[in-house]
Chains A and B, each alone.
Chain A
């Protein structure tokens, strides 16, 4: 079975550019989570969806961040405009309800 798929794996962009991160959850999972990992703040939950509906976005740092889940097999996290402090590894995870979460390989974002 394919695990959680994320793309791209690495992204380097300049400050001010729009960045879109993509995630495909495990088939049959109905919850999807976006996390950010930095040395300073560790792993932070940004937003999560259940049955394609955003449940809690209180972890989204600013209005520059937005996330969508148009269907059960695809989600995006967008940063517009990007800033150097957004540099981090962004993980997507999926689960059935809030049971065991499975993480994707992550996207390493560098904003110069």
Chain B
């Protein structure tokens, strides 16, 4: 099946800093989503972005499907951005509905 690698595994930021999280995948994808798992365990949708660029407030994401990666940008980070960020992909080869999650990036934003 498709392999998903996220980097870095851990990130410590001071409030106000910017950061970039990366998601690499091993094959063509039909779908790609970014999620934020908050400290209470809730998985929150950030972006549904199989290709292109999207922005939502201080967050934006870009997926370059032909080069098999996606980036999540956090600008002017806040303590509420702390948590784990996951990338999930659905491959194109015999993979209908089979979403594979990366291991996540643990983000800690300090005041």
- The residues of B that contact A100 with a CB separation of less than 8 Å are 33, 45, 48
Q: How far is the CA of A43 from the CA of B48 in the complex (A)?
A: 18
State how many angstroms separate the Cβ of B91 from the closest Cβ of chain A: 11
Residue of B nearest to A91 (CB): B43
Known contacts A100-B48, A101-B33; A45 and B41 CB within 8 A of each other: no
> Does B51 have its Cβ within 8 Å of any Cβ on chain A?
no
Residue from the list A98, A103, A105, A106 in contact with B96, Cβ < 8 A: A98
The residue in chain B whose Cβ has the minimal distance to the Cβ of A31 is B97
Q: Are the C-beta atoms of A98 and B31 separated by less than 8 Å?
A: yes
> Is A99 touching B31 in the complex (CB atoms < 8 A)?
yes
Is A75 among interface residues, defined by CB-CB distance under 8 A?
no
Asked if residues B45 and A102 are in contact (CB atoms below 8 Å), the reply is: yes
Stretch of A12-20, A48-56, A62-70 lying at the B interface: A48-56
Report how many A-B pairs have Cβ atoms within 8 Å: 49
Interface size class of A (residues with CB under 8 A): 20 to 34
| In the complex, residue of chain A having the shortest beta-carbon distance to the beta carbon of B49 | A100
Q: Quick one: closest B residue to A49, CB to CB?
A: B97
Separation of A31 and B96 alpha carbons in the complex (Å): 11
Which chain A residue lies CB-closest to B31?
A98
Provide the A23-45 mask, 1 if CB < 8 A to any CB of B, else 0. 00000000101000000001111
Known: A33-B97, A50-B97. A98 touches B45 (CB 8 A): no
B48 partner residues in chain A, CB cutoff 8 A: 99-100
Q: Are A101 and B99 in contact (CB under 8 A)?
A: yes
B13 at the interface (CB under 8 A from A): no
A106 and B41 contact, CB distance less than 8 A: yes
Chain B residue numbers with a CB within 8 Å of A108 are: 41
